[in-house]
Structure 1
Amino acid sequence: LLEEVFKFVENKHYLDVPAIAIYYYAYKATKERDNEEYFQRLKEQIIEHGDLFPQSEIRDIYLLAINYTIGRMNAGVEQYVRETFELYRRGLEKKILIQNGLLSRFTFMNAVINGAMLKEYDWTERFIHEYKDYMEEQYRENVVHYSLARLHYEKKDYATAMRLFSQVEYDDILLNLNAKTLLLKMYYEEDELDLLEALLESMRMYMRRKKVIGYHKANFKNIITITKKLVHVNPYDKTQRENLHKEILETNPLPERKWLLKQVEEMG
């Protein structure tokens, strides 16, 4: 039935109607994620006709588009880091992503991470200070602290980032584990192997004490396991390097795959 509706819409030129087109492309982008044309059409509709929709409605459409781009990012399609950032920037400038005077802490952190990854350092720092008061007070201090530390990490200012991350045990479990993952990467790159070994053990114990479930549990467990192997692999043994490289490629979930592969490849 739904396919018949879509054919009717396509044949009768209803895609010229913004209210129909935007939901048509949103649905198609969600269902056919590998067909990037649907997302591009959705983005065009948002830019050209977004102002025609009530604030709450266009906000939901923005979040759907952002979820699509984050999914593509997680699948390793790097151009979607920029696509995600531009959606956040536009949505924030137009106050679309602010609801009842509040900005979700997840939206705040994702905007920071995307901006910093793209080296949009000035925008990111300005965003942190200008938008922090839109967050709920109970999350504000931790999220702002993490965001500033993350910004310094992306700028390769490891001394400041390590100092900031080491100062705080975040209340939020995932925030804490994400901070520890960044510390782990910095310790490895700075050859602080004793600190790294201690951190890996503390992460393992932390996960035993706290309720980390599903995808997140598997993700951080894999990071700990692979990083331990990375530390102990013989960099001069080609077979060991190749075996670890293969294991990293085959391990899922593993969002830090790109970084881990880079460390192995640099050994050779």
Structure 2
Amino acid sequence: MQNSKLINVISTFSTKEIRRFDEYLNSSYFNKNELVAKLYEFCRADYPKFRPSKTDRRDAFSYVFPNETFSEQKLRYVMTDLVKLLEDYLSLTQYEKKPIRQKQNLLRELSERNLNKYFQSSLDIAQSMRSKNTYRDAAYFYDQYALESESYIFQVRNFQRNNDESLQNSVENLDLFYLATKLRSCCELMNRKNVFADDYQILFLDEILVHLKNNEYNDFPAISIYYQILMTLVESDDESHFSLLKDLLNDNADKFSMDEARDMYAFAQNYCIKKINGGNTSYLNELFLMYKTLIEKEIIFLDNFLSPWHFKNIVYVSLRLHEVDWTESFIYEYKNKISPEYRDNAFTYNLASLHFHKKEYSKALKLLQNVDYTDNIYYHLDSKSLLLKTYFELEEVESLLSLIDAFRIFLRRNKLISDYQRSVYLNLVKFVKKALNIKLKSKSHEKIMQLREEIEKTKKVADLKWLLTKIDEMDKLAAA
């Protein structure tokens, strides 16, 4: 049963969820099939490991159907029934996470059963629960729309004439829900369109943008934030959209779940990165300040851990701004926030980056030589690039030539590397070797300028700024 849907679903359960599913399965209301309970009992015995030797189909069949000849079809029927119960349990779990939706369903039942004297008190409780929710996301407006709709339907059913307010509130909240949801989806689509050149047809987008341009939604951050995000994507040259987005995020991030706030900030970060890549280095400071905000508000942490990629990006940006002391404090203070499987490598690489920036090349080399980044292709590429630069700075010629050959082979053979990454790193390797040859042999101004011109024409080169700096240093030495 290894790799079956049954085992794959159960393996995601926490210990608490396993106990709860035990109760669920043993309830005659949900399950009346003893064979299903037996199969689950067999599977549960090896939770959470689920080793192949302990989840063999024939052993499972013998446990469920003792003294019977093995039948794949018979076992599959029981497995299907158990999976169905697991899926029903997952649906119930999701339903329990949404108490307002539970109240909406209760209100509908009370209304349909003509239990009128209980309807209003239940509606009041639901409204009170909703008002205590500090989030003002799209789900908030949907819940309000649904509650007002139930109130309106109840009033119509009971021939009450004061139903206009509920209907008006229902429609207004439906509009707010639609705009917030539509804008968020449009942001995702436009982002994909920009990254992957996909072509999407977005119905009513022009009409919505005209409406939002002529109407203010500052009191509804779920709309105003996504509107500004969308405008940074469709009018990226107009930097006022980013300025407004930044202020809106700083003022309203706490009105959304951590996950949604993280996604919102990701759009703003990507805008900064695009500007930086386009040559506008003033956005380095914008990105740095944004990272500091994300750390301070703990938005950047996912399941209480800091992504090794965020860790590296923060170090990279702060070093480009020469925030050396801040970077060093950050590396040591947040090392243990990195998830354990990436922690040592991420810490070592970023500490090496710090030493390299401080021109402490021997310290950087010692760190880079004692770590293996094969578990992460991006860290692997960056570490090899940093090692390449370190050897060049230390004039470790033999080690550098050996690394150039090994790195080139790795880049050409590794299938996990994208074509773009392969190209920019191969160009780095090529130009470092050419620079080394000039440094060791001719050192002529003409050859150095020819190399500089070739690099500038190529453009797609990893660590381009460092490479051009080295070329300029070589030219000064040649002229001396």
Normalising by structure 1, we get a TM-score of 0.91
- The answer to whether structure 1 residue 46 and structure 2 residue 253 are counterparts is no
Q: Deviations over 1:229-248 (max 9, x none)?
A: 2222343242x233222211
Greater Cα offset, 222-231 or 248-257: 248-257
Distance in 1 (CA, whole Å) between partners of 2:390 and 2:425 is 16
Map 1:160-179; keep pairs closer than 5 Å. Answer: 160-171=363-374, 172-179=376-383
Give, as a single letter, the amino acid of the residue that structure 2 aligns with 1:198.
S
1:148 deviation in Å? Answer: 1.1
Quote the residue 1:29 is aligned against. Answer: 232
Q: How does 1:109-188 map to 2 (within 5 A)?
A: 109-171=312-374, 172-188=376-392
Q: Which of 188, 191, 201 is residue 405 of structure 2 equivalent to?
A: 201
Measured after TM superposition, the shift of residue 7 of structure 1 is: 1.5
> Secondary structure at 2:334's aligned position in 1?
helix
Query: Post-superposition shift, 1:205?
Result: 2.4
| Correspondence 1:216-255 to 2 at 5 A | 216-233=421-438, 234-238=442-446, 240-255=447-462
Q: In the alignment, residue 248 of structure 1 is paired with which amino acid?
A: I
1:74 match: 277
1:106-136 CA-to-partner distances (Å, cap 9, x unmatched) read: 1111112222222223322232233233322
Question: Does structure 2 conserve the Cα–Cα contact (< 8 Å) formed by 1:18 and 1:45?
Answer: yes
In 2, distance between residues paired with 1:8 and 1:163? 60
Cα distance in 2 for partners of 1:253, 1:157 equals: 28
Aligned length: 267
Q: Distance in 2 between matches of 1:254 and 1:37?
A: 31
Give the share of equivalent positions with the same residue, in percent: 36
Q: Secondary structure at the match of 2:407?
A: helix
1:43 CA drift (Å): 0.8
Alpha-carbon distance between aligned partners in 2 of 1:109 and 1:207, rounded to the nearest angstrom: 21
Give the 3-state SS of the residue equivalent to 1:119 in structure 2: coil
Q: Could you say which structure has the larger radius of gyration?
A: 2
Where in structure 2 are there 5+ consecutive unaligned residues? 1-203
What are the ranges of 5 or more consecutive residues in structure 1 without an aligned counterpart?
none
| Cα distance in structure 2, aligned partners of 1:174 and 1:29 | 28
The residue type paired with residue 219 of structure 1 is V
Work out the CA distance in 2 between the residues paired with 1:24 and 1:2.
11
Residue identity in the other structure for 1:181: S
Q: Is the contact between residue 324 and residue 354 of structure 2 (CA under 8 Å) also seen in structure 1? A: yes
Paired position in structure 2 for 1:99: 302
CA distance in 1, matches of 2:398, 2:279: 32
Q: Answer yes or no: is the 8 Å Cα contact 1:180–1:203 preserved in 2.
A: yes
Asked whether the equivalents of residues 59 and 96 of structure 1 are also in contact (C-alpha less than 8 Å), the reply is yes
* Structure 2 counterpart SS, 1:167: coil
8 Å contact kept, 2:408–2:429: yes
State how far apart, in whole Å, the 2-side matches of 1:93 and 1:48 are.
Answer: 14
Contact 1:82 1:118 in 2 (8 A): yes
Q: Distance in 2 between matches of 1:121 and 1:241?
A: 31
CA deviation after TM superposition for structure 1 residue 223, in Å? 0.7
The CA distance in 1 between the partners of 2:340 and 2:290, in whole Å, is 25
Q: Check whether the contact 2:305–2:337 (CA below 8 A) recurs between aligned residues.
A: yes
Displacement over 3 Å in runs of 4+: none
Range that drifts further, 90-99 or 23-32? 23-32
